Amino acid sequence: MIEAQNINFAYRRGIPVLTDINCKIEDGEFIALLGHNGSGKTTLSRLFMALMHPRSGNILVDGNDINGLEPADLADKIGYVFQNPDLQILADTVFDEVAYGPRIKKLSEEQVQAQTEENLKVMGLEDLTTSYPRLLSFGQKRRLGVATALALNPNTLILDEITNGQDAFEKNKMMEYLSVLNKERGMTIILISHDMNIIRRYTKRAIVLKDGSIVYDGATEQLFNGEFPVESWGLRKPLISQLTTAFGVAADTIEAFCDKLIKGGEK
Ligand SMILES: Nc1ncnc2c1ncn2[C@@H]1O[C@H](COP(=O)(O)OP(=O)(O)O)[C@@H](O)[C@H]1O
Ligand SMILES: [Mg+2]
């Protein structure tokens, strides 16, 4: 569980970047962190994993205040995948990349082997163990980033704009892997993304930041029901929401929408 209590944060120049942030993320949630560029999403997620600390307020991870802790202290609780996959790559093979954390932690080589193989498999990279990480496709690098973040068995994953620049096939594949982690391992997933189609399909709850304040915290489904000024929050309505609004047909998926439209059915 991650809890932010009255968080305020500013970088060096002192301009407020986060103002009075209060939120609680429960174990096992699949949650979206949304907002226009510069709204504070990356900053908030960095605070969650103690890369920086708030000017005032507290962040609790599993009930403990993390003020004074370092990222390494939280590495087996929270895994973080950076916006730029190249920044994270350290090793010469895919296997060594994912094994890096567990080796530093001095797990036995057998444990390292078992854990690494498992995490590579979860991300669909089991056939690439000896490949040079920098030569992977963009989508594969992304999945490698996630596999690396999984290496220390965290119960929470924070993914910062990892679906950017991926084609639909790679993106869906990634999302399906994440879905499995969430459903089968009960992993908490915090997804920062501008892809509202993905957000609507996979996340149950969304927190929206605008200029460093929370303007929405609730069900993802409600976010796009027409009541909220989502465009002014920098969010593009998901395709399905645009279609259902334009045609006045209620449907949860494109398939259901087409079905109803073709049958000329229920409005
Ligand atoms: N390292 C930094 N030093 C100073 N200002 C920063 C730094 N990183 C981000 N900011 C500023 O903080 C605000 C929030 O940025 P950020 O958290 O990166 O937003 P988002 O991830 O939502 O795009 C922006 O105004 C940005 O310019
Ligand atoms: Mg960001």
Question: What is the CATH number for 23?
Answer: 3.40.50.300
Instruction: Pick the atom of ligand 1 nearest to 11's CA.
Output: 4
Instruction: Pick the atom of ligand 1 nearest to 37's CA.
Output: 23
- How far apart are the C-alpha atoms of 232 and 229, rounded to whole Å? 6
Mutate to test the pocket of ligand 1, among 37, 39, 43 (most ligand atoms within 8 A of CB): 43
Same domain? For 224 and 244 the reply is no
pLDDT in tens, 216-228: 999 999 999 889 9
* Predicted local distance difference test score (pLDDT) of residue 242: 83
pLDDT, mean over the chain:
91
* Predicted local distance difference test score (pLDDT) of residue 12: 84
Q: How far is the CA of 126 from the centre of ligand 2 (A)?
A: 30
Which value, in Å, is the radius of gyration of the alpha carbons in the chain?
Answer: 20
Same domain? For 97 and 219 the reply is yes
Same domain? For 225 and 241 the reply is no
Same domain? For 28 and 131 the reply is yes
Same domain? For 114 and 200 the reply is yes
Q: How far is the CA of 161 from the centre of ligand 2 (A)?
A: 7
Helices 168-184 and 109-122 cross at an angle (nearest 10°) of 120
Q: Which residues of the chain have pLDDT under 70?
A: 85, 87-88, 264-267
How many other CB atoms sit within 10 Å of the CB of residue 68? 8
Structure letter (DSSP) for residue 230: G
* Predicted local distance difference test score (pLDDT) of residue 89: 76
- How far apart are the C-alpha atoms of 54 and 171, rounded to whole Å? 33
Distances, alpha carbon 114 to alpha carbons 91, 119, 213, in Å: 18, 9, 43
Same domain? For 119 and 146 the reply is yes
Ligand 1 pocket (Cβ < 6 Å) reads 11, 17, 35, 37-43
Same domain? For 22 and 137 the reply is yes
Q: How far is the CA of 257 from the centre of ligand 2 (A)?
A: 33
* Predicted local distance difference test score (pLDDT) of residue 267: 47
**What domain range includes position 260?**
237-267
Mutate to test the pocket of ligand 1, among 8, 9, 17 (most ligand atoms within 8 A of CB): 17
Same domain? For 216 and 245 the reply is no
Number of domains in the chain: 2
Instruction: Pick the atom of ligand 1 nearest to 212's CA.
Output: 14
Same domain? For 165 and 265 the reply is no
* Predicted local distance difference test score (pLDDT) of residue 265: 53
Same domain? For 26 and 111 the reply is yes
Same domain? For 226 and 247 the reply is no
Beta strands in the chain (DSSP E): 2-10, 16-25, 30-34, 56-61, 64-65, 78-81, 156-160, 188-192, 205-210, 213-219
Q: How far is the CA of 50 from the centre of ligand 2 (A)?
A: 16
pLDDT in tens, 45-74: 999 999 999 999 999 999 999 999 999 899
Distances, alpha carbon 107 to alpha carbons 21, 57, 163, 266, in Å: 38, 36, 31, 59
Same domain? For 73 and 15 the reply is yes
- β pairing state of 188-192 and 64-65: unpaired
Buried b (16+ CB within 10 A) or exposed e, 215-230: bbeeebeebbeeebeb
Identify the residue whose C-alpha is closest to ligand 1 atom 25: 38
Helices 109-122 and 138-150 cross at an angle (nearest 10°) of 140
